[in-house]
């Protein structure tokens, strides 16, 4: 049985668009108008976009068409329709981070990753819906309403980058940018049946990202196929003097080895990711994908990541502690929402933050403030940082044995809207397979690997060592080819 009312569509690939525009078989303007029409048709039922800027998109497309008409070399993303998660700034465009507290905010600067896309010829259709301040696993925490999964609008698209995943899965754009703090690219990619990339921490500049947890936040691409995702990462990666945590290591051509296959590669399968709690259909799809990789010539190696069971509590101590610090700046004084009718400065602070933040953001601020408070810092925050080191060491040891690690991306396919809204712990456990890589700073990808009996997508997560994106893309391409 397949889900009813599917709104999915496969967008044209980056290479096909660029070739068609360069060959004058079409124009960037025509591609843009088709994307705007698709948004008008599909987005009322999906709600992936928080804002659409047709004027900017048409101007960017016209510039690409001028280059093509002059016979000039086209940049790598010439005319490609993009959407940008609304935690990433674009000068003059709204940047709400999915929160009422930033309603009406128009930043005076552009995120480095977004600027790199623009310089590469991308066409920006608009800003994409997300969980408030990227805090959530279902995209139900947005102050502007939830995003609906294009495969089944009664289900969540995953979070926090649900709008980014859904926009690609519904064919409204060819690629998008999202952010991943504990799984917010990989999990929605799995739920929506698209490719989502977690770059190594420091591989992509975070300048212009509205921060949730600064030691965990990363910017990465969504696309309908592995090659497009690799192409986009190659554009946005690289050192940025505006971000002291960005790496100076050179950026390789991530598409160069895509078709080499997996013969001779050692791929680890951790027992901890196949324990109780894993949906039977997800297990079957992942195990089938692993066997196909074995048949393609990979050596499958059983491994152990023994501290995995501590990942969720560790993550929710560190991430909330950093969130409580980062979100202290939203006080109604300098920008964004300010509560009316407050007689004193303290009352204005309290009222602004009470009315401006949603329930999940408040929950995390309170938890983070608690674990950083006097008398609890050592017991919680310091201990969590120590366990984080152990989790990272697990991966370092594993990558001395294998080239990449294969796991499920999420324990279940997409769940129904509202199904976990009243149970925060159940919602947090949706990230059980993704937070480990976030804490360790390593890279990863979610690639479609099968479907449930009801037609819902299932994603395989492929994890690689620090700056091992090329190997991860190579394995992901083999999974995509074998599917």
Q: What is the pLDDT of residues 256-306, one digit of tens each?
A: 999 999 999 999 999 999 998 999 999 999 999 999 999 999 999 999 999
The whole-number average pLDDT for the span 410-430 is 93
> Which residue is associated with the tokens 């013969």?
263
The pLDDT, as a whole number, for residue 4 is 55
Active site residue 271: no
- Residue 176 and residue 340: Cα distance in Å, rounded? 36
Which residue out of 13, 85, 205, 246 is catalytically annotated? 85
**CA dihedral over 97, 466, 13, 481, signed as positive or negative:** negative
DSSP reduced 3-state for 358 = coil
- Percent share of the chain, pLDDT over 90: 95
The pLDDT, as a whole number, for residue 232 is 98
| Tens of pLDDT, residues 197-254 | 999 999 999 999 999 999 999 999 999 999 999 999 999 999 999 999 999 999 999 9
Which residue out of 99, 142, 161, 184 is catalytically annotated? 184
Active site residue 260: no
| Tens of pLDDT, residues 11-65 | 999 999 999 999 999 999 999 999 999 999 999 999 999 999 999 999 999 999 9
Single out the residue of 163, 207, 70, 138 nearest to residue 416, CA to CA: 138
The pLDDT, as a whole number, for residue 310 is 97
Which residue out of 99, 138, 160, 161 is catalytically annotated? 160
Looking at the whole model, is its pTM more than 0.75?
A: yes
What residues does 195 pair with on adjacent strands? 223
Q: Is the pLDDT of residue 2 over 70?
A: no
Concatenating the DSSP letter of every residue in 309-346 gives GGHHHHHHHHHHHHHHHHGGG-SSSSSS---SS-SSHH
Q: Is domain 14-260+465-482 given the CATH code 3.90.1300.10 in the classification? A: yes
| Tens of pLDDT, residues 138-192 | 999 999 999 999 999 999 999 999 999 999 999 999 999 999 999 999 999 999 9
The pLDDT, as a whole number, for residue 179 is 98
Q: Is 383 left (phi over 0), alpha (psi -120 to 50) or beta?
A: alpha
Confidence category of residue 110, pLDDT binned at 50, 70, 90 = very high
- Residue 271 and residue 220: Cα distance in Å, rounded? 28
| Tens of pLDDT, residues 427-469 | 998 999 999 999 999 999 999 999 999 999 999 999 999 999 9
Confidence category of residue 1, pLDDT binned at 50, 70, 90 = very low
Confidence category of residue 3, pLDDT binned at 50, 70, 90 = very low
The pLDDT, as a whole number, for residue 63 is 98
Active site residue 184: yes
The pLDDT, as a whole number, for residue 5 is 73
Planar angle of CA 141, 143, 144, nearest 5 degrees: 110
């Amino acid at each position: 049985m397949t889900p009813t009312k599917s709104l999915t569509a496969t967008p044209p690939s980056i290479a096909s668009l660029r070739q068609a525009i360069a060959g004058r078989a079409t124009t960037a303007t025509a591609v843009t108008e088709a994307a705007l029409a698709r948004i008008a048709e599909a987005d009322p039922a999906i709600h992936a976009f928080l804002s659409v800027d047709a004027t900017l998109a048409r101007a960017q497309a016209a510039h690409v068409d001028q280059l093509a008409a002059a016979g000039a070399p086209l940049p790598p993303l010439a005319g490609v329709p993009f959407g940008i998660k609304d935690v990433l700034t674009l000068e003059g465009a709204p940047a709400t981070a999915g929160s009422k507290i930033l309603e009406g905010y128009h930043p005076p600067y552009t995120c480095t990753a977004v600027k790199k896309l623009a310089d590469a010829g991308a066409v920006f259709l608009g800003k994409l819906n997300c969980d408030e301040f990227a805090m959530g696993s279902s995209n139900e925490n947005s102050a502007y309403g939830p995003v609906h999964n294009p495969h089944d609008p009664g289900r969540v698209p995953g979070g926090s980058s649900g709008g980014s995943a859904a926009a690609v899965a519904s064919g409204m754009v060819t690629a998008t940018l999202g952010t991943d703090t504990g799984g917010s690219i990989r999990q929605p990619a799995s739920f929506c049946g698209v490719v989502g990339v977690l770059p190594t921490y420091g591989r992509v500049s975070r300048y212009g990202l509205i921060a949730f947890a600064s030691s965990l936040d990363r910017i990465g691409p969504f696309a309908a196929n592995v090659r497009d995702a690799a192409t986009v990462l190659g554009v946005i990666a690289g050192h940025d003097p505006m971000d002291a945590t960005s790496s100076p290591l050179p950026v390789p051509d991530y598409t160069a080895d895509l078709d080499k296959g997996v013969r001779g590669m050692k791929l680890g399968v951790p027992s901890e990711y196949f324990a109780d709690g894993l949906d039977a259909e997800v297990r079957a799809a992942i195990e089938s994908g692993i066997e196909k990789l074995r048949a393609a010539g990979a050596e499958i190696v059983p491994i152990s990541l023994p501290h995995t069971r501590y990942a969720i509590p560790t993550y929710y101590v560190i991430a909330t502690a950093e969130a409580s610090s980062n979100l202290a700046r939203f006080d109604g004084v300098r920008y964004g929402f300010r509560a009316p009718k407050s007689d004193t400065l303290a009352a204005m602070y309290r009222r602004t933050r009470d009315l401006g933040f949603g329930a999940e953001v408040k929950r995390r601020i309170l938890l983070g403030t608690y674990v950083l408070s006097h008398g609890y810092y050592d017991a919680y925050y310091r201990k969590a940082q120590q366990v984080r080191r152990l989790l990272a060491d697990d991966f370092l040891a594993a990558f001395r044995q294998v080239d990449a690690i294969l796991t499920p991306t999420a324990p279940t396919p997409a769940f129904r809207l509202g199904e976990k809204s009243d149970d925060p712990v159940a919602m947090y456990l949706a990230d059980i397979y993704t937070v480990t890589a976030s804490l360790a700073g390593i890279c990863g990808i979610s690639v479609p690997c099968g479907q449930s009996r009801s037609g819902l997508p299932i994603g395989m997560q492929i994890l690689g060592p620090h700056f091992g994106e090329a190997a991860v893309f190579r394995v992901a391409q083999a999974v995509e080819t074998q599917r």
